[in-house]
Amino acid sequence: MTYDVHIIGGGLAGSEAAWQLARRGISVRLSEMRGSGEMTPAHQTDGLAELVCSNSFRSDDDENNAVGLLHHEMRQMDSLVMRAGEVARVPAGSAMAVDRDVFSAEVQKTLIEHPKVDIVRERVDQLPGAGLTIVATGPLTAQSLAENIVTATGEERLAFFDAIAPIVHRDSIDMDIAWIQSRWNKRTEASNEEGDYINCPMTQEQYLAFHRGLIEGDKTEFKDWEKDTPYFDGCMPIEVMAARGVDTLRFGPMKPVGLDNPNDVTEEFPQGRWPYAVVQLRQDNKLGTLWNMVGFQTKLKYGAQVELFRTIPGLEKAEFARLGGLHRNTFLNSPSVLDRQLRLKSAPHVRFAGQVTGCEGYVESAAVGLIAGMMASSELTGRDWSPPPASTAIGALLSHITGDAAADTFQPMNVNFGLFPPLHEVKKKQRKQAYTSRAKSDLRAWLAASETVAA
Ligand SMILES: Cc1cc2nc3c(=O)[nH]c(=O)nc-3n(C[C@H](O)[C@H](O)[C@H](O)COP(=O)(O)OP(=O)(O)OC[C@H]3O[C@@H](n4cnc5c(N)ncnc54)[C@H](O)[C@@H]3O)c2cc1C
């Protein structure tokens, strides 16, 4: 069968992209390596859109939760993943959970029965040299293709681990304790006027207790299949560094020199004394709503992270947009290598979708597949296409991965309200509902304008 678009990878993103193209009358070759004798280390079956771990699509609350809002938006855009999710739904309170076998079977049946979709069980080892392509091979992209992607993008642009430092919502940091300053007040052209880091000061006593907490805290273990993947010194978990010596962190990421604490002023130090140790946060998105804890990638369990990091002065009430982690995960440095339409800048016939773009989660991966399908469809039919506004969940996620995130600290991201243009004028308690109601109305307007209303 000849085809208009070649999709590589039949997971959440690839299946959704195939559906979005097929329902617009565009023919697709969907190459999936499982079923050809190949397997990833996490998948168990040959089924399309297999959920590799939990069976939950997380919150379905579209008024107070960003992922619930994303569900809503995907339903408006006739998402196959959301449709199949409804068929496979099992009770889970306000969350949306599914029977994974029923879900995968429903996605697969829909695509097999669609005359515009040709599912081919094959492993693809090279990016096609021509023809519209969507690569949706996920966090466990087969090695041969990953190597070819490295050749196309450059070695620094494809990561094999996400070494995630926790990311904190700016408005949950206590700025009566923390302060903004760059070390030695150094500036670059891109610097903010006040300085580029939020600094949280620690006394010796607080530092020693914190150091003990890192060493003694509950950690997650690498899975067997993750142990062999090399990771670099730059990804070293903070607790591993802490175990090298009590002062290692004070000479590393928690170094206090050149940072004058304005809340600790003496006659001798009228500009403020240097603390004993410091935790620094650096801006993580253009909006300035998210800040990441520099050097704090960790394998501490989530509960232990929240408990320990809230002992840091200034972060007592921290709300985390995401917690730290270290996992096997193949993903691109999308803000630097992809354009705003998910196309590889060096080979624009190739688009990427799903977790390999640096979004994270079943729903987010499917959403990026959905939007990649829409983009490819517009490109083929020669229609102008503008992305959904950043005030929608799908638009916020897309903006983040295609340029709004800081490229040098880019790590996979779930959808969350910190990605949305802020509504500072709305009281904090009412903000979530304000975000969701603005998003719904903006999505409606965008859908009407782009004539992509659900069939
Ligand atoms: C171990 C693990 C657990 C996870 N748990 C969760 C969770 O509980 N909840 C959650 O929301 N998210 C979870 N994720 C994150 C993520 O959302 C899922 O991995 C999600 O499946 C990503 O969707 P995707 O379509 O991008 O990739 P996938 O669903 O992995 O699909 C990629 C597909 O591409 C195929 N493929 C790979 N290379 C090739 C090739 N060269 N040629 C042809 N086919 C190829 C693979 O076989 C696979 O079917 C987890 C990830 C991992 C690795």
User: What digits encode the pLDDT tens for the residues 327-358?
Assistant: 888 999 999 999 999 999 999 999 999 999 99
Of 42-56, 158-172, 181-195, 380-394, give the lowest mean pLDDT range: 181-195
How many whole angstroms separate alpha carbon 314 and alpha carbon 311?
9
The predicted structure's pLDDT at residue 454:
39
The predicted structure's pLDDT at residue 228:
65
How much is the average pLDDT of 423-427? 93
Chain mean pLDDT for the chain: 93
Which candidate, 140, 84, 145, 131, places its Cα nearest to that of 109?
Answer: 84
How many whole angstroms separate alpha carbon 373 and alpha carbon 379?
10
Q: How many CB atoms lie within 10 A of CB 301?
A: 15
CB 172 within 8 A of CB 309: no
Q: Calculate the CA dihedral of residues 16, 360, 335, 70 and round it to 10 degrees.
A: 60
Q: What does the pLDDT look like over 302-312, one tens digit per residue?
A: 999 999 999 99
Residue 207, amino acid? Y
CB 134 within 8 A of CB 17: yes
Q: Is 13 in the pocket of ligand 1 (CB under 6 A)?
A: yes
Write out the two tokens for 168.
């904190």
Residue with tokens 């678009």: 5
Q: Is 52 in the pocket of ligand 1 (CB under 6 A)?
A: yes
* 389 DSSP assignment: P
Residue 290 pLDDT exceeds 80: yes
Cα–ligand 1 centroid distance for 209 (angstroms): 39
Cα–ligand 1 centroid distance for 383 (angstroms): 31
Residue 408 pLDDT exceeds 90: no
The predicted structure's pLDDT at residue 189:
73
Report in angstroms the alpha-carbon separations of 284 from 14, 167, 194: 28, 8, 16
Cα–ligand 1 centroid distance for 341 (angstroms): 21
Stated pTM of the model: 0.85
Q: Is 124 in the pocket of ligand 1 (CB under 6 A)?
A: yes
Q: Is 127 in the pocket of ligand 1 (CB under 6 A)?
A: no
Q: Is 12 in the pocket of ligand 1 (CB under 6 A)?
A: yes
How many whole angstroms separate alpha carbon 78 and alpha carbon 74?
6
* 361 DSSP assignment: S
Q: Residue 275 belongs to what H/E stretch? A: none
Write out the two tokens for 246.
């009590």
Nearest CA to ligand 1 atom 24: 138
How many whole angstroms separate alpha carbon 55 and alpha carbon 277?
42
Residue 233, amino acid? D
Long-range contacts of 209-212 (CB under 8 A, 24+ apart): 209/311, 210/277, 210/308, 210/311, 210/312, 211/242, 211/246, 211/249
Q: What does the pLDDT look like over 32-48, one tens digit per residue?
A: 999 999 999 889 999 99
Nearest CA to ligand 1 atom 48: 11
Q: Is 415 in the pocket of ligand 1 (CB under 6 A)?
A: no
Question: Which of 20, 33, 103, 119 is the best mutation target for the ligand 1 pocket, counting ligand atoms within 8 Å of the beta carbon and taking the most?
Answer: 33
Rounded to a whole number of angstroms, the CA Rg of the chain reads 23
3-state helix, strand, coil in the chain (%, to 5): 35, 20, 45
Residue 86 sits at φ, ψ, to 5 deg, of -65, -45
Which candidate, 406, 330, 3, places its Cα nearest to that of 136?
Answer: 330
Q: What does the pLDDT look like over 173-199, one tens digit per residue?
A: 999 999 999 999 987 777 788 888 999
Strands 28-32 and 5-8: parallel
CB 265 within 8 A of CB 271: yes
CB 154 within 8 A of CB 345: no
Q: Is 362 in the pocket of ligand 1 (CB under 6 A)?
A: yes
